[in-house]
Amino acid sequence: MSTAKPTLQRRPLVKKILEGADDNLLVIAGLGSSNWDITAAGDRPLNMPLWGSMGATVSMGLGLALAQPSKRVLVITGDADLMMTLGALATVAAQSPDNLAICVLDNEKYGETGNQASHTSPRNNGPTDSGSGADLAMVAKGCGFADTGTVRDQADVAQLVKDLRTRKGPVFRLVKVMVEKLEFVMPPQDGAHLKDRFRQALLGSA
């Protein structure tokens, strides 16, 4: 496992991933930074940004992908959110929806609580900043994903975007991103409103 410091910045990366998003792209983002990231890229009704419910993101994407097999479903979330329900990856692999892509932005930290080390941080990183060196792409592979990968370099971003948007799913991509202090860019908070506007845009009625 590489120990080089990540250089990718999450905001421009997510903007690139969502560029030109149309009605065929349904996006679910995990709580905290991933939520602010997709919102910074442009709030839209077919975004479902979570404000809580840590550990729910991947499963929500699966339920949606199975209900809407003709749409592309993209889950964007963080390492610690996924770590909370690793078993959900096995459930995705068992169902194997070809329209689902999962992008994990791994900064090896709990960004919202003060950047404490998550389990994806290296093991011997001092008394306050050590994790287990967990490799979530390997976890996904071990759970049964046939298509997994890790992205660290700007040169691989164009291919990453293509894979997340168009490649036959289920696709799992781990992206190592920098720890940054970024502006909070917040979508509406009311969950019922977020759900209703999503259903209105997708189904024509809430």
Partner 1 sequence: MTEWRDQIFEVLQDHDIKQVYHVPDAGHARVIELCQKSNSIRTLALTTEEEGIPLAAGAWLGGQRSALLMQSSGVGNTINLMGMTKTLRFPFLTLITMRGEPGEFNSWQYPMGQGTPKVLEAMGVLVMSVDKAEDVKQTVDHAARSAFNGGQAVAVLLRQKLIGIKNFGKSK
Question: Interface residues for partner 1 in 83-142 (CB under 8 A)?
Answer: 85, 87-88, 90-91, 94-95
Nearest CB to partner 1, comparing residues 4 and 192: 192
Q: Which of 11, 43, 68, 149 binds partner 1 (CB under 8 A)?
A: 68
CB of 127 to partner 1, least distance (A): 30
Which is nearer to partner 1, 6 or 78 (by Cβ)? 78
> Contact between 78 and partner 1 (CB under 8 A)?
no
Query: Would you call 112 exposed, middle or buried from its count of C-beta atoms within 10 A (0-12, 13-18, 19+)?
Result: middle
The residue written with tokens 């839209």 in the block is 44
Measured CA to CA, the distance from residue 76 to residue 117 in angstroms comes to 20
Q: Name the CA dihedral angle for 54, 109, 154, 16, rounded to a multiple of 10 degrees.
A: 30
Q: Is 104 exposed, middle or buried (0-12, 13-18, 19+ CB in 10 A)?
A: buried
Q: Which is nearer to partner 1, 157 or 201 (CB)?
A: 201
In single-letter form, the type of residue at position 163 comes to D
Angle CA(197)–CA(201)–CA(206) in degrees, nearest 5?
55
Of 19, 182, 199, 200, the one binding partner 1 (CB under 8 A) is 199
Contact residues for partner 1, defined by CB under 8 A: 26, 28, 48, 51-53, 55-57, 59-68, 71, 85, 87-88, 90-91, 94-95, 191-192, 194-195, 198-199, 202-203
